[in-house]
Structure 1
Amino acid sequence: MRLQGYLKDAEDKRRSGNATVAILVSQIRDVAYEAENVIEAADYMKKRNLIKKGFMGAISRYARLPSDLTTLYKVGVEIHRVRRKLREVFQSVERLKINLDSQVVDESLEDCGLVHQHFNDDVVMVGFEKEYKEMVDKLVQGANMLSLVSIVAMGGAGKTTLARKVYTSSKVKQQFDALVWVTVSQKFKVIDLLKEIVKQIPNDGDQTENIDDMNEYEVGKKIRDTLMEKRYLVVLDDVWETDTWEQINRTIKAFPDAANGSRVLLTTRKKDVANHVEMPTHIHALKCLDEDESWELFRSKALPLYRSPGIRDMDALETLGRMLASKCDGLPLALVVLGGYLSKNLNRQAWSDVLLGWPSTKEMEMMRGIIARSYTDLPNHYLRSCFLYLASFPEDFTIPMSDIMSLWIAENFILPTPRHTLEETSLKYVTELVQRSLVQVVQTSDIHGWIEEVRIHDILRDWCIEEATHNGFLDVGQVGASPSHTLMSCRSSFQNSSERNLHTPPNLRALLGFGLSSVFFPELRFLRVLHVENSRIENFSNVIGGCIHLRKLTMRKCGDIMIPSIGKLLYLQTINLSETYPRTTKISGSLWDIPTLRYVRVPSRVPLPRSKRPDADPGDASLSCGAGVVSLWT
C-alpha cells in the first residue's frame, strides 16, 4: 500500500518533465508489482490447499507438504530480493533529494450520474445543420445509378460524427433496404472488412453458412449476390489510401450497380482518396466552424444549461470562454475536449490560466496541449490509468463496456467504494471521461440509457499511445517508440501482427491481441490480463495453465480453444469465449472451483461442466461456483 502511495505521488512529479523521476516511477512500479506477485504466490498456495479434496486435502490444510515448503522457501527468497530493490530505490531518492512523501488523498469521483441525458451527440452537430441536410438529400435523391458521397476534412473536424448522424436519420433508414457501416482505418485486412460487411447485411437466405471459413472471393460474391436485390447504403469511415476501393473489389465487384439508387458514403482526410473511386462522386469539403458556431459548441460543453444556476462569475467566464473558443481555430474536437476540461474547473482563475498559457503553435500541437491538460486534470491516478488503457484497442475500435469494466477491475484500477459495486464505479469512470469528451459514446441502453459501447478518437488515441509508451505503462505493437523511450512496458498490445513469436518482457501483466495470425505465446508467468480477438494461438493450452495470477481471460473469435487446467487459475474473475467454435471448444469441470469467478461468457452450444449446485440449469443467467454466484451469458 505504501508503494502504491509513493507511485501515485511520483507519477504526478513525473509529468512535470523530470527524467530522473520518470525512471524512479518505473522502478517503484516494478517493485510494487513484484511485491504483489510474491504476496499472491503465498496466498495461491493457501487457496489451492483449501479446495483440495479427500485425505491429501485434509493433510495440506493442517500440515505443510514438501511442495509447500519449497514454495515458501522461494517466497522468502523473493521477499529478500524485493527488499533489496526497495533499499536501492529509496537510497537513490535520498541521494537525489527528491521528495516522494506519500499523502493520503481522496481518490473518489464526484457523483457524475449513470443516466444518458448528456451522452447524445446533438451538441457536436453545432454548425453542421446545413451539411447534414445536404448529405441526406444527396443520398436519398438523384440518379438511380450507384454513386459516391464523400466527406473530406482534417482530423477532429467532425467527419465521423456527421456521417453517423446522417446514417441514423429516419429519411435514410426509410430509403435503403440494407445499411452497412465499416471503419477502414490506416491498417486493415480486406477479408476482415468484407466479413464485417456480410454480418451487417440483412439476409433472408441460408443462415447456416460459416462466413469464417470463406475466402475473399467467396465473401465478396456473397455480398454481391445479397445486395443485387437491395437498395443499399455502405459507409466506409476513415479511409486513408487511394486504392482502398480497388482492394475491396479486387477479386470480384462486391458492390453491384442495380440502378436502384444505392449509395456509398465515404469519410477521409485526403481529397485524392475521394477522387480516386470510379463512380459518380459528390465531394463535400467540411469547413471549420466560424466564431459564433465555435462559441456555441464550446459553451454547450463548458457551461451546460443544467449547471448554469450554480455557476458564479458567469459573465466573466463567458468573456473568457469566447476568447478561448476563438483560439481553437474552429476545430470541433479541440472545442469539446477543452470545454469538457473547463466544465470541471468553473472558476475565473482556471480559465484565465488556460488563456495566458495558450501555445503559439497551430492545429495538432494545439490539440495535443489541450489533451495533455485534460489528462493531467483527471481526478485521480486510477482514472488516468483507465484512460491510457483505451490505447490498447485498435484504431476506431468500438469497445464494449463489459470489456472495459472487466479489464479495469482485473488491473485493480477500480477502487472499492461504499454503496457501489466495482461495475458501478467503472461506469462512473467512463461517465467522467465522456463528460470531458475524452471518449465518445457509440451505443446506450434503450431501457436504462446506460453506456454500452464507446470509442476513442484516433487523435486522442495517438496521444495516449505516446504517453503510455513514454512512462512504461503500455507498449502498442507496430508503433515506433520515441528515441527517449527507455522504460520497459508492463503491458503489451499487438494489433494486426504477422509475427510468429511475440516478444514480451518477462514481467508482463497484460497482453492484448487483435488480428494475430498463427502466433506462439511466450512464457507468461505473471500475466493478469489476456484479451485476444480474431486471432489464432498455436500453444494456448500449454501456456495458460502456468498463468496462476490471471484475472481476465477473453478469447473472442479465436477458433477452437482448449482450457484443460482452468481450475488452477484461482484468481480468475472473467472468462469470455464468445464466437469461438462450439464444436471443438471445451472447458474443464474445475471451472466452478475458482473462488473469485464473476462472469462466464461462452457460445450457446459449448457444453459447460455441471455446476456444484444439484438443481443448476445451464440456461440460467447465474450459476453457483466457488465464490457463490457467477453471471453466465451464452
Structure 2
Amino acid sequence: MAASAVGTVLGNVGNLAVRETNLLCGVTLEVTFLKEELMRLQGYLKDADSKRTSGNASVAILMSQIRDAAYEAENVIEAADYMKKRNMIKKGFMGAISRYARLPSDLTTLHKIGVEIQRVRRKLNEIFQSAERLKIDFSTHVVDEHLEDCGLMYQDFKDDVVMVGFQNEYKEIVDRLVQGGNILSVVSIVAMGAAGKTTLARKVYNSSEVKQHFGALIWVTVSQKFKVIDLLMEILKQISNEGDQSRKMDGMNEYEVGNKIHHILMKKRYLVVLDDVWETDTWEQLNRTIKAFPDAANCSRVLLTTRKEDVANHVEMPTRVHALKCLDEEKSWVLFSSKALPSYKRSDIHDLDKFEKLGRKLAKKCQGLPLALAVLGGYRSKNLNMQAWSDVLLGWPATKDTQMMRDMIARSYKDLPHHYLRSCFLHFAAFPEDFVISMSDVMNLWIAESFIPHTRKHTLEETARKYVTELVQRNLVQVFKTSNKYGWIENIKIHDIIRDWCVEEAIQDGFLDVIDETTTGQVGAPSSLLPG
C-alpha cells in the first residue's frame, strides 16, 4: 500500500513539476528533485511489501515511514500549488504584483516550502539507508505506468453465470413465495459467508414471476449494526408514492413510521427482503412499537438471508428454511471457467485442454464457494499463463472458508496492474457495509483524491470508468444496477468479506483511519485527507 501512496504523490508531483512558472522559481527545481527521489523509492516497494506481508516487523516499520514521507511530500506540493493558484486569481494592482513580482509574504512562504522539501528529502535518504541495511532489493529503473486497456465494456460481462448451480434453488424459492397459504410466512436462505445468499435472493427478487405476483417489493440490508428507525424509514421510502418523502419523514419517530408502513401494506400483497440478518430478534425489533408488517391474509411473504440457522428459525410465523449448499465439483468448474476462460478469449488460447485440467484443480480448491470461484476466476483471467496457474495451485494456502477467501483477495489485490488501481480498490473501505455506491460518486471521489492519472488518450472520467470495469471483471466489486438504455454501470456494491479485507489492509497501511467503529461501524477518509 505504500506503493500506492508514493505513486499517487508522484502523479501530483509530476503535474506540478511540468507547470514551471515564475512564481515557483527555484522551488520548481526542488520539487523535481523530490520527484526523482520518490521515483527511486518506488524501486524498493515491491520487495519491501512482500517482506512486510511475511511478518518482518522491521520492514513493516520501514513501510510506515515510506507512507508518512510520501504524504508529507504531498502536503508540501499542495502548499506550493495552492500558492500558485491563489496568486493567479488575484485581481488589480496587487494581483499583478503577485504574478510578476515578489511580495514579502510570498518570499516567506516559498522559503518555508523549500525548507520542508529539504526536510522530506533528508527523511527519504534515511529510508534509503534503512532499506539497504535490511537488504531490500531495489532497481533504479521504474517503468512508467500508462493506462492499460481494461477490455470490453461491462455489458459483455453479464453476471448470469453467478447463478450456476442455483437454478433448482431459485425455482424452489420462487415457488414458495408465490404459492402456499394466505397467511404471512417466511422463507429463509441460510449459508456461510461467500456462499451466494444475496446473489440468489436478488435474482429471486428481480424475477418476473415475483414482480407480477406482489404489489409491493421491499429490499433492505440489515447487517450486523443497524438502527430500527433507519430501516423503517428506508422501507417507507420504497413503498410510498408521495413525493419528497425524506422531508415529510423528518421528525417522525419509530411508531409513526411503523404505523404509516402498516397502513400502506394493509392494502397490498407485499414481499419484504431482509438481507444479511445477524440477530435473532431483528423481526421483533422492527415490529416492537407497532406491527409494521401486517398479516392481511393475502399471501404476503418475507424473504430472509442469514449466516445463522438460529436466526432463520427464530421468526415467530410459519417459516421454511432453505439451507444453501456449496457447489459440487462440476458446478464449481462451470462457474470458475466462465470467469477465468470466458468465451470471447477461448479462441485465442493455445493448449486449452491443459488450462481446463489445471482450472478444474483450482476450482476444487475453492470448496464450492461462489465468491471464491468468481474472484479466483477473475484473477486468473488476467494472466493466461500455464506456469502462473501452476504456481497458484502449488502455493495454495492450507486454510479453509473465510481465511482461504482472504488469501485469495490478497492475491487478486497484489495482481492489480498498478498502484492507481490498488488505491481505488482500497478506497472502497471508506464506504459503509452493504452500501450501494453510485458510479458517478465514486469516480468523482477517485479523481478528487488524485487516484486517477492524467493520460493523453483518455479523460479522467473515462479512465475512472475503465478502472471500475476492471474491478468488476476481476469480481472484486459487484454490479448492482446498469443503465437500461446504454448498459453502463450505474451502481456497484462490494461484498462484506471483501470490504472487511479492504478495511484491515487500509488501516494497517495508514490509508484511512477508523472514526468510531463501536458506534457507527464506519471508517474515515483516506489518511491524505486527515489532519496531522
TM-score under structure 1 length normalisation: 0.74
Match of 1:375?
A: 413
Aligned equivalent of 1:328, options 366, 378, 383: 366
1:510 is aligned to 2:529: yes
Aligned equivalent of 1:39, options 77, 92, 97: 77
Alignment of 1:107-186 (within 5 A): 107-113=145-151, 115-186=153-224
Counterpart contact for 1:390–1:461, Cα < 8 Å: yes
1:15 is aligned to 2:15: no
3-state SS of paired residue (1:112): coil
3-state SS of paired residue (2:155): coil
3-state SS of paired residue (2:312): helix
3-state SS of paired residue (1:339): helix
Q: CA deviation at 1:289?
A: 0.8
Counterpart contact for 1:217–1:251, Cα < 8 Å: yes
Match of 2:375?
A: 337
Q: How many residues align?
A: 494
Aligned identity (percent) is: 71
Q: CA deviation at 1:114?
A: 5.2
1:302 is aligned to 2:340: yes
1:430 is aligned to 2:449: no
3-state SS of paired residue (1:449): coil
Task: For 2:252, give the aligned amino acid.
Answer: M
Greater share of residues in helix:
2
Match of 1:245?
A: 283
Distance 1:80 1:327, change over 3 A: closer
Task: For 2:178, give the aligned amino acid.
Answer: V
Q: CA deviation at 1:290?
A: 1.1
Q: CA deviation at 1:152?
A: 0.4
Distance 1:229 1:372, change over 3 A: same
Bigger shift: residues 310-319 or 105-114: 105-114
Distance across 1 between alignment mates of 2:478 and 2:236: 26
Task: For 1:137, give the aligned amino acid.
Answer: D
Distance across 2 between alignment mates of 1:470 and 1:360: 24
Distance across 2 between alignment mates of 1:406 and 1:450: 17
Task: For 1:228, give the aligned amino acid.
Answer: M
Distance 1:28 1:154, change over 3 A: same
Q: Deviations over 1:352-403 (max 9, x none)?
A: 1111122222212221222121111111122112111111111111111112
Match of 2:274?
A: 236
Match of 2:391?
A: 353
Q: CA deviation at 1:496?
A: 4.9
Match of 1:88?
A: 126
3-state SS of paired residue (1:16): helix
Counterpart contact for 2:332–2:373, Cα < 8 Å: yes
Counterpart contact for 1:312–1:347, Cα < 8 Å: no
Q: CA deviation at 1:189?
A: 1.2
Counterpart contact for 1:114–1:427, Cα < 8 Å: no
Counterpart contact for 1:115–1:448, Cα < 8 Å: no
Match of 1:218?
A: 256
3-state SS of paired residue (1:236): strand
Distance 1:69 1:127, change over 3 A: same
3-state SS of paired residue (2:321): strand
Distance across 1 between alignment mates of 2:358 and 2:420: 31
Q: CA deviation at 1:93?
A: 2.7
Aligned equivalent of 2:109, options 71, 76, 81: 71
1:458 is aligned to 2:496: yes
Alignment of 1:388-407 (within 5 A): 388-407=426-445
Distance across 1 between alignment mates of 2:368 and 2:156: 22
Counterpart contact for 1:14–1:21, Cα < 8 Å: yes
Q: CA deviation at 1:455?
A: 1.0
Distance 1:142 1:341, change over 3 A: same
Q: Deviations over 1:299-351 (max 9, x none)?
A: 11111111110011101111111111112111111111111111112122111
Task: For 1:259, give the aligned amino acid.
Answer: A
Distance 1:339 1:226, change over 3 A: same
Counterpart contact for 1:465–1:475, Cα < 8 Å: no
Aligned equivalent of 2:352, options 304, 308, 314: 314
Distance 1:6 1:30, change over 3 A: farther
Distance 1:455 1:159, change over 3 A: same
Match of 2:24?
A: none
Match of 1:469?
A: 507
Distance 1:345 1:43, change over 3 A: closer
Counterpart contact for 2:147–2:455, Cα < 8 Å: no
Task: For 1:260, give the aligned amino acid.
Answer: N
Counterpart contact for 1:119–1:441, Cα < 8 Å: no
| Structure 2 residue ranges without an equivalent (≥5) | 1-34
Counterpart contact for 1:151–1:266, Cα < 8 Å: yes
Match of 2:447?
A: 409
Greater share of residues in strand:
1
Match of 1:189?
A: 227
- Higher RCO structure, 1 or 2 (CA under 8 Å, sep 6+): 2
Distance across 2 between alignment mates of 1:207 and 1:496: 26
Q: Deviations over 1:265-291 (max 9, x none)?
A: 110000111111111111100011111
3-state SS of paired residue (1:256): coil
3-state SS of paired residue (1:443): strand
Distance 1:65 1:34, change over 3 A: same
Distance across 2 between alignment mates of 1:321 and 1:126: 16
Distance across 2 between alignment mates of 1:246 and 1:86: 58
Query: What is the CA RMSD across the aligned residues, in angstroms?
Result: 2.4
Match of 2:6?
A: none
Alignment of 1:249-260 (within 5 A): 249-260=287-298
Distance 1:70 1:363, change over 3 A: same
Q: CA deviation at 1:14?
A: 3.3
Match of 1:269?
A: 307
Match of 1:562?
A: none
Match of 2:138?
A: 100
Distance across 2 between alignment mates of 1:159 and 1:208: 30
Match of 2:39?
A: 5
Q: CA deviation at 1:21?
A: 3.1
| Structure 1 residue ranges without an equivalent (≥5) | 481-493, 512-523, 526-634
Q: CA deviation at 1:441?
A: 0.6
Stretches of 4+ moved more than 6 A in 1? none
